[in-house]
Amino acid sequence: MASGNRPLSPHLQVYRPQLTSFLSIMHRITGVGLWAGALLMTYWISSATYGPEAFARAQWFLGSWFGRLVLLGLTAALYYHLANGVRHLAWDIGWGYEMNNLNASGLAVVIFTGVMTVLTFLAGYWVAGAL
Amino acid sequence: MEFRSTLSKVRDRGLSTEGGSGHWWAERMTAIALVPLILWFVVSAISMVDADHATFVKWAGADGNPVLLILLIIAVYHHGQLALQVIIEDYIHHEVAHFTALIAVKLGAFFLAVFTIFSVAKLTLEG
């Protein structure tokens, strides 16, 4: 590992903020965040094996204002990571590397995330009979 | 466009001797599997917003649902631990912390996957 006072190459802060670099780091951040979603999925499914009271407690928590807030963040993170993940798969087969395509697909990912998150929550409230 | 270096340049350098290409492929295979599985799970979860215990257990054991749930659980935790491994390798350089984090993530993901799959099996078989 590097030691002493060796000079460092210019780091992130010397670059102008761009959509592409912002979306890139967001893929990692949402990915780490989605671990909380995986844990919540495990909690939700396994709670049912401990009987009706345990499952009702899980449902109550997920439906509470705090639970809904967490689910809102996870839903947005999920759609973002999903759409941007498909973008990554396209790059893996060599598609979409041109600058105008990168910006267009990036914008599409952001719009998809916003629209799908709103639609998902509207559907959830509709199922709950709140609409 | 040709992105590859000539064979003479890459020989004995950067070859995937420690399973790097296997990791790369597994991350992508689980990603592809997760596209339909996660969309199915979101739609299912929405339908369970107001569900009581009986409704949920009935759904978990219905038709192909246990199989889809188990596939989802495997894909989620496999993808999750492969991805977190890359992040640990990028950011945690202290040797002890590095290996502790890697081992914790790998064993933790394995435990969580088995525990969740067992839960699905229990719900399906015992009702």
pLDDT for the residue numbered A13: 76
Cα nearest neighbour of B60 on chain A = A45
Does B17 score more than 90 pLDDT? no
Q: Is residue B109 part of a domain?
A: yes
pLDDT for the residue numbered A6: 81
Number of domains in chain B: 1
d(CA A103, CA A112): 14
One DSSP character per residue, B61-102 reads: HSTTHHHHHHHHHHHHHHHHHHHHHHHHHHH--SHHHHHHHH
Interface residues from chain B to A (CB-CB < 8 Å): 1, 3, 28, 31-32, 34-35, 38-39, 41-42, 46-47, 49-54, 56-57, 60, 69, 73, 76-77, 80, 83-84, 87, 93, 112, 115-116, 119-120, 122-123
CATH number at residue B67: 1.20.1300.10
Name residues whose C-beta falls within 8 Å of residue A63's C-beta, 6 or more positions apart in sequence.
A128, B49
For tokens 């909380």, the residue is A36
Structure tokens at B20: 């790097």
pLDDT for the residue numbered B111: 98
In B, which residues are within 8 Å of A128 by CB distance?
Answer: 49-50
d(CA A117, CA A30): 14
Q: Is residue B15 part of a domain?
A: no
CB contact under 8 A, B53 and A86: no
Whether the ipTM is more than 0.85: the answer is yes
Q: Is residue B1 part of a domain?
A: no
In A, which residues are within 8 Å of B51 by CB distance?
Answer: 59
Q: Running DSSP on this structure, what letter comes out for residue A130?
A: -
- Whose CA is closest to A35, among B72, B109, B38? B109
Q: Running DSSP on this structure, what letter comes out for residue B62?
A: S
Kindly report the backbone phi and psi dihedral angles of residue A8, in degrees, each rounded to the nearest multiple of 5, phi listed first.
-105, 150
CA distances from B4 to A95, B11, B18, B94 (A): 16, 12, 20, 33
Residue A3 — pLDDT band, cuts 50, 70, 90? low
Q: Running DSSP on this structure, what letter comes out for residue A84?
A: H
Distance from CA of A19 to the nearest CA of B (A): 21
d(CA A73, CA A86): 20
Name residues whose C-beta falls within 8 Å of residue B55's C-beta, 6 or more positions apart in sequence.
B48
d(CA A40, CA A32): 14
Choosing among B1, B24, B40, B53, which should be mutated to test the A contact, i.e. which has the most A CBs within 10 A?
B53
Q: Where do the domains of chain A lie, and which CATH numbers do they carry? A: 18-127 (1.20.1300.10)
> What rounded mean pLDDT belongs to chain B?
92
pLDDT in tens, B47-76: 999 999 999 999 999 999 999 999 999 999
Residues B72-84 have a mean pLDDT of: 98
Query: The pTM is what?
Result: 0.90
Residues A28-49 have a mean pLDDT of: 98
CB contact under 8 A, B80 and A35: yes
Q: Cα–chain-centroid distance for residue B54? A: 29
Q: Is residue B71 part of a domain?
A: yes
In B, which residues are within 8 Å of A39 by CB distance?
Answer: 112
d(CA B38, CA B3): 33
d(CA A123, CA A130): 10
Residue type, position B84, single letter: L
> What rounded mean pLDDT belongs to chain A?
94
Q: Running DSSP on this structure, what letter comes out for residue A10?
A: P
Name residues whose C-beta falls within 8 Å of residue A52's C-beta, 6 or more positions apart in sequence.
B52, B53, B54
Crossing angle of the two packed helices A19-47 and A65-92, in degrees rounded to 10: 130
Residues A96-102 have a mean pLDDT of: 95
Structural domain for B48, as ranges: 21-126
Residues B32-39 have a mean pLDDT of: 98
